[in-house]
Amino acid sequence: MSDTAQAEGQGDESRARDLVELIVKALVDYPEHVEVLEQVGERSIVIRVRVPGDEVGKVIGRGGRIANSLRLLAKAAATKIQKSVWVDIAKSEQEETAEAKEEHTRS
C-alpha cells in the first residue's frame, strides 16, 4: 500500500470518531467537557465517549435511541475501511473518581 493510500485510510478511520464527537458536542450543554477517544484494532474501532454524569442522558436518549443512532452513523462512516465500529458512552473518568472518593469518605 502506498504512503498516500495508507494516510487516506488512517483519515477514514478517524472519520467515524470525528462524526461522533461532532454530534455529541452538539447534544450537550458543555461541549468542552466531552472526551472522545479512539482505539483502532486490526478489524475494529472502539470509540469511547466520556461526558459529565448529568449529560449522559442527553447522549443516550430515551430508550437508547440517540446512542443507537450514533452507533449506526459511526458504522456508516466506517464502511469504506471495512472495520466494525463500537461506540461506548459513559460518565467522564474524573467524575467517576470524584464519586468514588466521596463514597469512600462517607463510609
Amino acid code (one letter) for 50 = R
- For the entire predicted model, the pTM comes to 0.76
State pLDDT tens for residues 63-105.
999 999 999 999 999 888 889 999 999 998 765 555 555 555 5
Using pLDDT thresholds of 50, 70 and 90, give the confidence band for residue 24: very high
* Tally of structural domains, the chain: 1
- What per-residue confidence (pLDDT) applies to 3? 42
Domain membership of residue 76 as a residue range: 3-106
Could you report how far apart the first and last alpha carbons of the chain are, in Å?
58
CB 36 within 8 A of CB 47: yes
| DSSP label at residue 80 | G
Give the CATH number of the domain where residue 24 resides: 3.30.300.20
| DSSP label at residue 47 | E
